[in-house]
Structure formats: C-alpha cells, structure tokens
A and B are shown apart, each in its own frame.
Chain A
Amino acid sequence: MRSAARLIIPVLTPRALLLWMAVRLTFAMLPLAANQPFGSPEPSPFGVVLLAGVLGLLDVRRRGERILWANLGITQPALFASYAVTAVPAELILQLLRG
C-alpha cells in the first residue's frame, strides 16, 4: 500500500496554502472592519496553524470528500495535519519577513 502522505500532499497542499492566505487576510482585515486600524491584537502563529487545520477539515466536508478520503484509509487527524503542517512554513516565512 502506498503511503497516504504521497497521495494527499499534491492535492491538499495548494488548498492548504490558499486557506492559510485567506486566514491571514481575514485577520489583517478585521481591525479595518471594526474601524480600529491600530487596536486589534496580532493572532499567535500557533493559533493560526491550529485554525488552518480545523478550517481544513471543514473544507474537506464542504467539498464532499470525507467518505472518499476515509475509503482511502486516510484519517481525520491526517487531514488536519496536512492543512496545519502546510501553514507552519508559511508562518515561519511571514515571521522572518516581519523581522
């Protein structure tokens, strides 16, 4: 049996990156939406990674792929990890760019 990672990484990584960007963009826009451009606290990178994982699981459900992945022997924690792990290097690069 071929490993689950080799199967899901090519499919889920691009989606996970888009999802991470959407999360970051949402956090960036929140203070503006609340009319407080300087007043909102910055979310922790760890929180963003966890949120990316949870939203990833919801994304899989929204796309109607839950049973498909389950029939492929891929667990929910593995799907969560695929989304969350992709957000880790993205967060690291963002922190580096911010200095």
Chain B
Amino acid sequence: MNYALIADCVSRAFGTRKVLSSATLRAKQGEVRAVFGRNGAGKSTLMKIAVALIQPDSGVVRMGNVSFLRASLPALAKRGLFYLPDHDVLAPGLDLDTQLGFFERRYGQRSRREAARIARVEHLLDRRPGTFSGGELRRAELALAIARRPTVLVADEPYRGIARADHEDLTSLFRSLAADGCAVVVSGHEVP
C-alpha cells in the first residue's frame, strides 16, 4: 500500500529514558489519521521524528518513494509536507497577511485571500497573532497549511487550549484538506 509519509520502526531515547521503541506512523492520502495517548506517551516525539525535527536513534522516514536516513523539515516541506507544531507556528511579529503571502509566493498553490476565506480568518489578515483568540489562532495556523495545499499535514495537538465550539470547525478543516487529497495526521490526548 502506498503511503504519503511513513516513520518506520523508529526508536528514540533521551539519555537513559527510552521514549519510543519501534514505533510506526503512516499517513495516507485522503485520510485523517489520529494518534492518541496520554501525556508523556511519546506522541510529540513520534510526530517530530516523522517531520524530521528530531533524528531517530534507529528507523527511517519515507515520503512518497524516497527514504530519508537524515531528513530535515525544510527538505520534506519542499516535497509537500506541512508541520503544525504543539506550540505556535505563526511568527508573533508579522501580521497574518504577510505570513500567508510567504506561502502564496513560495509555492503558488492558493492565494492568501482564498486560504483566509476557507479558514474563516479574513477579518484577521491585518492583525498579528498575539491578538487572536485560541480558536482564531488555530484557524489562522491552518490557513497557512491551506495556502500551502500540502500533500501531508502533521498537526501536533491541534485541539489544545481551544473552546469546544471551535473543535468542530477545526475537524471540518482537517476533513476538507483530506478531501482535497492531503494525508492528515493529528495527535491529542482527548477525543474532540
């Protein structure tokens, strides 16, 4: 079976503490997949290995037909990956329009206006992320991904710190990205 992204049999220890042992994450085009587990179970480490922010002690990351022994996030991003970390991805010092403009100009997949409209953040374009509410911030972050139109989206704990009313919005955006052909992986320690 063809997967868009695989972190295959990856292991990782920090000092003497073994966080992951032969863990595997597979992302498939057109599907939203979820990684659940309690705090400290190693979800974020697995996600970070999958997007090459952390190198595994053993195992391999594959994107499409290419295997990476020492991948990097910029290299995977150029191939179509977008990473939404468990801390804010938006730069606090730049307004949303500028940041969406980077993705529009770099990848030319979707205009900033259209991405903002889909994520329902048009009214936030001229504002900086520090002034957004939790739900607005998460939708604005997803607007970057929508502008990128990625083949793989890895979102680490995207439901953290937002109101229940915003959960459904976020889930709809993930589903629409998957319907567009994206392989979506989300993590969390609660079912939204």
Chain A residues with a Cβ under 8 A of chain B: 1-2, 4, 6-7, 63-65, 67-75
CB nearest to B82 among chain A residues: A71
Give the residues in chain A near B74, CB-CB below 8 Å. Answer: 69-70, 72-75
Q: B103 within 8 Å of A by Cβ?
A: yes
**Which one of A7, A65, A72 contacts B77 once the chains associate, using CB atoms below 8 Å?**
A72
- 21 pairs, CB–CB < 8 Å, chain A vs chain B: A1-B78, A1-B108, A2-B106, A63-B91, A64-B88, A65-B91, A65-B93, A65-B94, A67-B73, A67-B83, A67-B85, A68-B91, A68-B99, A68-B144, A70-B53, A71-B103, A72-B103, A72-B106, A73-B75, A73-B78, A75-B75
Give the residues in chain A near B144, CB-CB below 8 Å. Answer: 68, 71
Q: B68 within 8 Å of A by Cβ?
A: no
B77 contacts A63, C-beta separation under 8 Å = no
B106 vs chain A, min Cβ distance (A): 5
Number of CB contacts from chain A to chain B under 8 A: 62
Give the residues in chain B near A71, CB-CB below 8 Å. Answer: 73, 77, 82-83, 89, 103, 144, 148
Chain B residues with a Cβ under 8 A of chain A: 53, 72-75, 77-78, 82-83, 85, 88-94, 99, 102-103, 105-108, 144, 148
CB nearest to A4 among chain B residues: B106
User: Taking A71-B144, A72-B103, A73-B106 as contacts, is the C-beta distance between A64 and B91 under 8 angstroms?
Assistant: yes
Give the residues in chain A near B108, CB-CB below 8 Å. Answer: 1-2
How far apart are the CA atoms of A92 and B83 in the complex, in Å? 40
A14 vs chain B, min Cβ distance (A): 13
Q: A1-B78, A71-B83 are in contact. List 14 more A-B contacts (CB 8 A).
A: A1-B106, A1-B107, A2-B105, A4-B106, A65-B94, A67-B83, A68-B89, A68-B144, A70-B72, A70-B73, A70-B74, A71-B82, A72-B74, A75-B74
